Structure 1
Amino acid sequence: MAAARPGGQVSSAERPVRPPGAGQRRALALGAAAWLVQPLYVVAELLAAARSSAPYSLLDQTISDLGATTCTAIDYAHGPVEVCSPWYPVINASLVVFGLLLAVGAVLLRRFLPRRRSATASTVAWVVVGLSSVATGLVPLDRDLTLHSLVALPALLASPAALLLLAASLRRAVPWLSAATAAVGLASLVGAVAFLVTTGSPDLGGLWERLGFWPTYLWLPVVAAVLLRRART
């Protein structure tokens, strides 16, 4: 419920902008659709993992191993890892497509969030996540491991930040969604930090990286559905 000022007036900072015209209704529909399809990225990743020609562990190996364009050994800090992913075009294209959709969806849905600085900051963070995902898909790790790592890092760091900022922006407008989004953001933060701290270990890197990223792909559809319903009522 929106916060009320003395006298019963609703604070403008908590009131989402309603879509009065066809243009804004279209923006709402497109933005929500861009976020509603995000779980399909996880599906693409699981399919690529299942089709890996080299042994692949979702718990221990990074997502990037699935995007390697050749059958080779990647020289990680903890030692070489054999990779061979026939479905690398699927995972790399998914990083690009869903990254673009995530960023575009964030921009289109901004006007349907409460008028708070945290909402704007969240939108900026989502754009960073999306563009970093695009760059990650365009620079496979077997082509340039250093550059790949550099362009992928912003997405890992910005994902939990974007979720937590989004939670803050919804705190008064939709308390239950804010609390749930904060919990999801904290889980993502734990995954991101654990992944960075254990970079030199051959164990559980895949688990921590996915805990850092997957909450975004799986939770944004819930946020989109709530924003869609609220804006249409």
Structure 2
Amino acid sequence: MRPIPPARAGALCWALAAPLFLAANLVTGLGWRHPPYSWATNNISDLGNVHCGVWDTTRPRYVCSPWHPIMNAGMLLTGALLAAGVLLTWRALGPGRLIRVARSLLLLAGVGFALAGVFPADADENWHFLAALLVLGAGPVGLTLAGLAPRAGAPGRLRLPTLAAGLLALTGAVLFVAQRDAGIGMGGMERVAALPYPIWACWIGITLFAAGGPARRIRRG
């Protein structure tokens, strides 16, 4: 059996990241009872908290996540898949300084997802804050820059959807930091900031994998 080329392996990593992350969110949320988990009210990190009790001085809420190991493992694996996807598809993302910066930021965002799983918010708040900064800062900016990349690389040939995902994530991150929920709750706004990257990675990973890697032409978005 011939080994999978690195770019296709990276594309597969990207394709798996979002389904894994969403599944961890859904399954872990099912373990909540009193109160039930809310995607609008609760932060993503609430699912990974290892202790039960009132949490967060800004928006005090009772957090109790009995199945937190599932979420923390899911966060760690999601971050590993996102980071591996960036590294293995490095050349497929194209040349130029702009795309190099975008790749580096997306790599850091993947590391942020992994750190959030290793350091739950109520176990090590400082490291978790760094993780959130990488996910909600480096991720949206990197995705936006990828959408501005030259058309020689995969993101450039899929420019409009990539740029739309980046701007959506960037808007969500700014509103989340400003504590503006726009009617969808702060948990909902955090997801607007955090989810576009893994969802975009899944979509572009499937596109690259189906195309057989960077050598074949990808239809423009």
Per the normalisation by structure 2, the TM-score is: 0.85
1:217: which partner in 2? 198
Residue range with higher mean Cα deviation, 188-197 or 42-51: 42-51
1:112: which partner in 2? 92
Deviations 1:107-130 (A, max 9, x none): 110111221222211211111111
Give the SS at the match of 1:103. Answer: helix
Residue 63 of structure 1 pairs with residue 44 of structure 2: yes
Any gaps of 5 or more consecutive residues in structure 1? 1-21
How far did residue 156 of structure 1 move? 0.7
**Higher-Rg member (1/2):** 1
Identity across matched positions, percent: 31
Per the normalisation by structure 1, the TM-score is: 0.81
2:65: which partner in 1? 85
Amino acid at match of 2:195: W
Amino acid at match of 2:57: Y
Any gaps of 5 or more consecutive residues in structure 2? 217-221
Work out the CA distance in 1 between the residues paired with 2:51 and 2:40: 22
Residue range with higher mean Cα deviation, 163-172 or 81-90: 163-172
Give the SS at the match of 1:86. Answer: coil
How far did residue 150 of structure 1 move? 3.0
Q: How many residues align?
A: 210
2:6: which partner in 1? 27
Give the SS at the match of 1:95. Answer: helix
Give the SS at the match of 1:76. Answer: coil
How far did residue 227 of structure 1 move? 3.0
1:199–1:71: structure 2 CA closer, same or farther, 3 Å change rule? Answer: farther
How far did residue 206 of structure 1 move? 0.4
How far did residue 92 of structure 1 move? 0.5
1:208: which partner in 2? 189
Work out the CA distance in 2 between the residues paired with 1:62 and 1:199: 14
